[in-house]
Amino acid sequence: MAQEYPLDPKWYEIIGEIGSGVSAMVYKAKCLKISAPNSSSIVAIKSIDLDQSRADLESIRLETKTMSLLSHPNILRAHCSFTVGRRLWVVMPFMSSGSLQSIISSNFSSGLPEPCIAVVLKETLKALSYLHDQGHVHRDVKAGNILVGYDGVVKLGDFGVSAPVYDINFDSRLKEIAGTPYWMAPEVIHSHNGYGFKADIWSFGITALELAHGRPPLSHLPPSKSLLFKITKRFRFSDYDNESSDNTRKHNTRKFSKAFKDMVGLCLHQDPTKRPTADKLLKHVFFKNSKSCDFLVKNLLVGLPSVEERFKMSNYNSNNNKMIRVSNSSLGSSSYNSSTTTPTIEEDETGVFEKQRRVSGWNFNFDGFQMEPVYPLGLGQGHPDGSKRVRFRAELVIPNKRVDLDVFSSSSASPSPAFSTPTEEQEAVVRVEEDPYLDPDPDPEGEEGVVDRGSVMCGLVALRGSLDDQRKNVKELISFLGGEQSLGGETKEEQMVDVVERLRGELEQERRKNKELLMELEFLKVIVSGGPQDD
């Protein structure tokens, strides 16, 4: 019979650090009380800072107890857990190859070979299928929580351990896990009505992309608390372009099977009800010829540095490359994110206006094997970026110069309640340029390259008249497309201006009336006093 693991820290000798998470440190340790051959004395201890975790100790205890009742070969079950001051120690089996995330960062930065991915995902699915059958949602499926043993055994861990599991309040949970939002299903982000097993299937799909590309989609963005909201509301176009061209470059060198892409596509369906269950996914053709765990030993684990060495290396690299790795902080951590070259979203807020477009979610692109932004009006309507875009163009000809004035108006109405406030973006570009087809400078005496002020003014005045008409058209169009305007086509600002104008008129009238009354009064005074006396 297996020996019981002691509930006292004095029985554990810490060998070294092997990992760190949002509010925890993970250590390799030796249990001094275990000596039986069928119980390993080498363990992993996850030490969770309870002050960082939003859950109360009672709910943690309850959760740990529930989890201890689960038993499956692909689930990493804790030996025991107990508190040490303000920390919770969770003693678990030591998985000597560490997590898939640490394997990827160390040896497979561009992603794992597809046959290895098939093995890992199949084993993870078995764990999910069991968990879901037992009525549990894991809520934190990602490569960092899939652990591999020396023998290639794959286990899903970090449930009943990770902070998110303890947070029953959705809002607090949202804040808590905002540090690593990349794996979160759309319904987890948008809905306040909760979510179910299918959220795990989405995260499973994102994990598949993470294993294939070496990082989850959007992971080049900083995992700040507000990122979660920013990703869904405003996403900088240039970042997406960079990301997609980066990905395209990678994808050109890596080919994935149709079966793999199809399986991932099913998991990443926006509508959770359309995603398959874990059970059904297990029957997908992608897993049909999946290899055994031995295959992982030969193709994944051979030549891999120990988990301790990898952790040391990742810390060293983090410091050298200024990687954002914030442990014991509310920001969360991400080993994927680098602060070196990529501008942050915060920087974006002060960036160029035209680079910002509204995104309502993310869709899986089958051919590109990546996530792509969804625009509120849907792709293919109007401008290729999905927004209804109308371009008004006015042209002003000045001798030897052409002044182009472009007015763009793009308006979007979102079908999603999370984005029910439509936006209008307008942009005006005035360009003065040499026109080789126009007459050469009619005034050879004139200063070269200097536009005549009088002509420009004259032209601009004419242009203003035409712009007023265009403005009216734009207003109507925005209103038609579901903008924030009133039925009359006026913005709130314009309505305010109208009110102020009206009040100003009334004031003016009052003033005039007062003046007349004063004059009448003066006149009456003169009458009463007998009028001007004639000598």
Ligand X SMILES: Nc1ncnc2c1ncn2[C@@H]1O[C@H](COP(=O)(O)OP(=O)(O)OP(=O)(O)O)[C@@H](O)[C@H]1O
What residues line the site for ligand X (CB under 6 A)?
A: 18-19, 21-22, 24, 26, 44, 46, 92, 94-95, 98-99, 101-102, 140, 144-145, 147, 157-158, 162, 180, 307
Minimum Å gap between C-beta 123 and ligand X is 15
Match 């029910």 to its residue by tokens: 420
Minimum Å gap between C-beta 5 and ligand X is 13
Closest alpha carbon to 261 in 290, 289, 286, 283: 286
Minimum Å gap between C-beta 144 and ligand X is 3
Closest alpha carbon to 112 in 205, 207, 19: 207
- Confirm or deny that 175 is annotated as ligand binding: no
Output the six-digit token pair for 85: 């001051």
E strands, 67-173, in order: 80-84, 87-93, 146-148, 154-156
Q: At a CB cut-off of 8 Å and minimum separation 6, what does 36 contact?
A: 2, 3
Residue 304 or 359: the one with the smaller Cβ distance to ligand X is 304
Output the six-digit token pair for 391: 């371009």
Residue 12 or 240: the one with the smaller Cβ distance to ligand X is 12
Minimum Å gap between C-beta 50 and ligand X is 14
Residue 21 or 181: the one with the smaller Cβ distance to ligand X is 21
Minimum Å gap between C-beta 171 and ligand X is 19
Residue 304 or 390: the one with the smaller Cβ distance to ligand X is 304
Kind of pairing, strands 24-31 and 12-20? antiparallel
Do 208 and 263 contact (CB within 8 A), yes or no? yes
Catalytic-residue membership of 171: no
Count of residues for the chain? 535
Angstrom distance (rounded) from CA 189 to CA 195: 10
Output the six-digit token pair for 281: 């996914």
Q: What are phi and psi of 67, to 5 degrees?
A: -65, -30
Catalytic entry in 51, 56, 133, 140: 140
Angstrom distance (rounded) from CA 16 to CA 516: 94
Provide DSSP, 49-83: ETTTS-S-HHHHHHHHHHHHT---TTB---SEEEE
Do 177 and 184 contact (CB within 8 A), yes or no? yes
Do 426 and 474 contact (CB within 8 A), yes or no? yes
Instruction: Evaluate the CA torsion angle 380, 385, 386, 389 in order and state its sign.
Output: negative
Minimum Å gap between C-beta 188 and ligand X is 15
Output the six-digit token pair for 379: 């792709």
Residue 22 or 396: the one with the smaller Cβ distance to ligand X is 22
Do 87 and 189 contact (CB within 8 A), yes or no? no
Residue 24 or 208: the one with the smaller Cβ distance to ligand X is 24
What's the longest Cα–Cα distance across the chain? Answer: 137
Residue 221 or 478: the one with the smaller Cβ distance to ligand X is 221
Residue numbers annotated as active site? 140
Residue ranges of the binding site for ATP: 46
Residue ranges of the binding site: 46
